[in-house]
Chain A
Amino acid sequence: MTKTTPKKRYGMVIDIDRCDGCGACMVACSLENNVSVVPAGAAPHRGLTWIRVYSVTNKKEYPDSDTAYLPVSCQHCGNETPCVGVCPQSAVDVDPKNGIVSQIPERCMGCRYCMVACPYHARYFNWWDPEWPEGTEHLLNPGVTPRMRGVVEKCNFCHGRHHAAQERAASEGRSEIEPNEYQTACAEACPNGAITFGDLADKNSEVAKLAAGPESFQLLKSLGTEPKIYYLTQRGWVRDMATRTPLISKGQSHD
């Protein structure tokens, strides 16, 4: 894969020190993107969570004990995007116009190579038919098609919202959307303002300024995937854990 220089470069900055693990981002994401609930009894790592908040501790006793909450979604890698290269179906797409890495479920054949390749455990497989309680299909988001059993899905920066914003701009004769017209559901729902979303290519944007700050870092930076999700923290142990060690495995969030 060659490195591209998109016109826009959508990304996110997550302030770990502001996140209190409420999980509103996870619920908002699931509702926005019609992510189904897996059946009772399924192992935690089979859950479908386009953004997943991990609870991590420094494993020390009171009063030195400390806990951080680490929201992890698809990192929308900007270089050698691991899931793209391994997909035999070309079901993973990197939009050269904005850098969004998206999954095309209609193409996916469920081989799950991309899940193996993803170093961030940010891709999820539909092990079951998506189901909602009877009657609640009328409450689903009409702008996002639910995925079927046997395919992989993941965060796409609320593509439905992006399309809606583009359509709105086009209907008004504009070719570009304004920054305040497109916001992801998780960023909108975060009560603590821990998630900032925007165009990293716009140096004047809030997200670009935060990403360029001294407290900013990327998960597993040494892999060279150039994630477009940046994190902020003043806590050294959190930064060390997030940049040097492999991510905690799914379902082991309470260690």
Chain B
Amino acid sequence: MGFSVKRRDFLGLVGGGAIGAALSPAPWKGLDDIAIWTQNWSWKPRLPRGPVEVAFTHCGLCPAGCGLKVRSVGGNPVSIHGVPGHPSSTGFVCALGLAGRYFSYHPSRIVEPTIVGTSGQRRGISRKAAVRQLGDWLDKARSGGGHGSVAILDNHPGRVRSLAYRGWLATLDGVHIKGLREDTPINRLRTMLDGPAPELGLDIARARTVLSFGAPVLEGLGSGGAGAHLRGRSDTEKPYIVQIETRPSRTARGADLWLRIAPGTETVLALGLANILVSEGLYDKEIIAQQALDLDGPGGYRELVARFSPKQVSRITGIDAATIKKVARRFASGPAVVIPGVDPGGGPLSAEAQTAAFSLSLLNGDVGRPGGVVARRAIPQEGQLADTVELADVPDGSIRLLIVDGAAGGCAMPTSLLKRKLNPSEGRVVSLSPFERSALHGADLVIPSTTPFENIDEAGVPIDAPVDSMGLTVPSMRAPDYSVDSLSVLSMVAKSSVVPTITELLRGRSDRIHAGGRGSVFDPSKGESVPLTEFQTNGDLWRALMGGGLWTDTSAAFTCPPFRLMGANAAIRDRLPQALEQPSTADRQAREIVLMPFGWRDAPGDGPLPPVMAKLFRETRLRLDSRFATICPKTAGELGFAQGDKASIKTSLGSITVEVVLDPAVVDGVVHVAVGPSTEAFGDASPGKGDQPLDLPSCKNDDCWRVIPAKMLEVVS
């Protein structure tokens, strides 16, 4: 009997073998081995190795100055954590702070001084040449102009560095300009007090009511932990938060009461609330009788607010009269804090809105009482200092040389506002920023400075701190050789030793604090505070501060001085009654749309962001960046737009192209666009500098760019 293999047998053998092999582990093991090859990808990061160290410092990225615990490996900071028990930040660190160490390597970092040549092109120059050029411009500005022809825009006023700026400017008859920050409006309250006023702070933690005019109260306003505390505390302990805001922000959505106010009508609402306080006698009669200078009489505050009846106010603001009365009565029931918010992108309220808002604090007797506006004791200063003003108060065309401090300000400003203050023919801008910043694209000269994690500085005092404090941003990274401290630049230009170093300044303040003998020092490694008196020498205090410690002052008794409810500025007083001339909400809806730019608290948009922040924007759209416009479905329908459509938003100054996002919580006739992050903010290799919302406002009248008349048109591809 012969053995023969037929075709069918052969196929059966092959097929059976294949099936059998597939059921065996062999092919899967093969796949496993092949999968290993995928490890051989083209790029492998070399993870840091070396001794592990832990150090404490403070964050210098915003006014909050949160306490940080920095873990370093081989001298490189590999993680940042909050400091539990820290008197100010209480363990909080925002997303930006967690990733802040990446700023040092940001692709948009400037690595050499650059100057705009005669052809308009920017080119690199040596530091020596840059300083010489700055010196020439300085001499020219001084010879050609009078008071204020030289100015420094200080993005973090209030530091000892700011005092050095002012001392240097005093020798030049220059002016020190405060950059826009969330604590800027409190200066308005100081101007309403008669006579010299101390530094003021908002005692949010002990307030019964917080009346926020668009401030990001629950998004990190003030000391980093404040918002978290307001959320975390039990209902019986925490203040009742009333958010007065047009945009459905995170704070508006999380507040106890959100008053969705018609755009730009905050002055009307504030005076409407005052109307109820006055007419129902809910104000602090004793304080008002003793200290108010302009309540009664012709043109007085009482006469002014009488015009703002709840019915009138409701017609303009879109908030019903019963709610206005309810809020006023709640406000008057105890200590309250009023915050005229500065939006990180939308900027401040108008001057009259700030005045009207703070008049409520004065009416309620909140200035000088716990849970309201409290005073901070000052540390004595020496020497002659130049005036400090706000940018809005600088005469147009008066500046011949503007030096812009490189600190992270936290708030973006329209380029047009800055340019308006410059002399049209001879105005020069010198930036000391470490980065390309959209607001400074027009700088004539850039001298790169250090980033916040590379340089020692003062952390600052947040708006909600009831007492003064001093914490240092102790460097956790080495500054590259191409960067230079701003005071060193001034020192080189001054060609003398009149400008002290930042370390000398900080040490001097530390010594003065030690000599004062007040307050306590928080030790972050132990999580506890000890009285300052236990520090035997000023060197002991300095070492504690360099170790990430925080000195906090004791509180000071403060009696509210005489004040003017309508402020001392005649122009603002005259504009207050004009608020009633605004159209009603019904009329508004028939008009063209308004653009309301806004910014994110930890990503204001005119500067770079650590790349990982892209997780919140383009990788998830948890937050919408400047490529998107949020609009209500009704308005979108009337204009012919649907979700995802491309639209062009036009104003008198230009246009931006955006993608439409529908949100039923947005007010009819309003479109919200974030001021950044711009496309290049995350350091991508292929950026495309797009127009930003802040390129659109003109800011002709009152240095306010919250509400911009605009048109929304379909983009034809």
Contacts and interface: CB of A to CB of B under 8 A. Distances in A.
A52 B620 contact: yes
Given A44-B618, A49-B615, A37 B48 contact: no
The 5 closest A-B pairs by CB, nearest first: A47-B619, A65-B665, A40-B684, A137-B45, A27-B95
Interface in B17-75: 28, 31-32, 34-36, 38-39, 41-43, 45-49, 73-74
Nearest to B81: A188
A86 interface: no
Interface string B83-104: 0000000001111001101101
Interface stretch (B176-184, B198-206, B217-225, B577-585): B217-225
Interface residues of B, number: 77
A66 B616 contact: no
A57 B663 contact: yes
Contact of A253 (B82, B93, B621): B621
Contacts of A55: 622
Given A20-B219, A138-B76, A149-B41, A26 B228 contact: no
Interface in A75-122: 88-89, 91, 106-110
Contacts of B79: 31-32, 141
B38 A148 contact: yes
B329 interface: no
Interface string B214-247: 0000111000110110011000000000000000
A109 B81 CA distance: 35
B612 interface: yes
B105 A134 contact: yes
Interface in A131-171: 131-142, 145-146, 148-151
Contacts of A63: 258, 260
B44 to A, nearest CB: 8
Interface string A25-36: 011101110110
A24 B614 CA distance: 12
B683 A133 contact: yes
Contacts of B307: none
A131 B43 contact: yes
B232 A193 contact: yes
A38 interface: yes
A130 B611 CA distance: 13
A208 interface: no
Contacts of B300: none
22 contacts: A22-B219, A24-B94, A31-B79, A49-B615, A57-B664, A57-B665, A62-B667, A65-B664, A66-B253, A88-B28, A88-B31, A89-B35, A109-B32, A129-B41, A130-B45, A134-B105, A137-B46, A137-B47, A138-B74, A140-B48, A141-B79, A142-B78
Contacts of B98: 24, 27-28, 31, 189
Given A44-B619, A49-B615, A65-B664, A254 B38 contact: no
A155 to B, nearest CB: 14
A140 B624 CA distance: 27
A24 B95 contact: yes
B105 A136 contact: yes
B107 interface: yes
A20 B231 contact: yes
A181 to B, nearest CB: 15
B77 interface: yes
A205 interface: no
Contacts of A59: 664
B613 interface: yes
Nearest to B43: A129
Nearest to A38: B619
A162 B254 CA distance: 34
B246 to A, nearest CB: 10
Contacts, number: 215
Nearest to A91: B35
A26 B620 contact: yes
B491 to A, nearest CB: 29
Contact of B620 (A34, A49, A146, A149): A49
B348 to A, nearest CB: 23
B106 interface: yes
A23 B622 contact: yes
A120 to B, nearest CB: 15
B622 A21 contact: yes
B538 interface: no
A85 to B, nearest CB: 15
A41 B618 CA distance: 8
Contact of B686 (A26, A40, A91): A40
B620 A62 contact: no
A67 B48 CA distance: 41
B663 A23 contact: no
Interface string A228-255: 0000000000000000000000010110
B344 to A, nearest CB: 14
A94 B612 CA distance: 29
Contacts of A110: 35, 38
A40 B688 CA distance: 11
A48 interface: yes
B698 interface: no
Given A32-B79, A65-B665, A137-B47, A53 B620 contact: yes
B285 interface: no
A5 interface: no
Nearest to A134: B105
Contacts of A3: none
A145 B458 CA distance: 36
Contacts of A145: 47
Contacts of B38: 108-110, 148-151
Nearest to A23: B616
Contacts of B107: 133-134
Contacts of A31: 79, 98-99, 612
Contact of B619 (A49, A89, A151): A49
Given A48-B619, A191-B225, 9 more contacts: A31-B98, A44-B619, A47-B614, A88-B31, A109-B38, A133-B105, A135-B105, A139-B101, A142-B73
A127 B406 CA distance: 37
Given A21-B622, A66-B253, A140-B47, A191 B228 contact: yes
B248 interface: yes
A89 to B, nearest CB: 6
A39 interface: yes
Contacts of B31: 88-89, 109
Contact of B664 (A49, A52, A60): A60
B250 interface: yes
Contacts of A18: 231-232
Contacts of A134: 105, 107
Contacts of B35: 89, 91, 106-110
A38 B319 CA distance: 44
Interface string B450-470: 000000000000000000000
Contacts of B621: 44, 251, 253-254
A40 B687 CA distance: 8
Contacts of A146: 45
Contacts of B77: 139
B682 interface: yes
B682 A37 contact: yes
Contacts of B622: 21, 23, 26, 52-55, 253
B679 interface: yes
A23 B45 contact: no
B34 A193 contact: no
Given A23-B95, A106-B35, A254 B682 contact: no
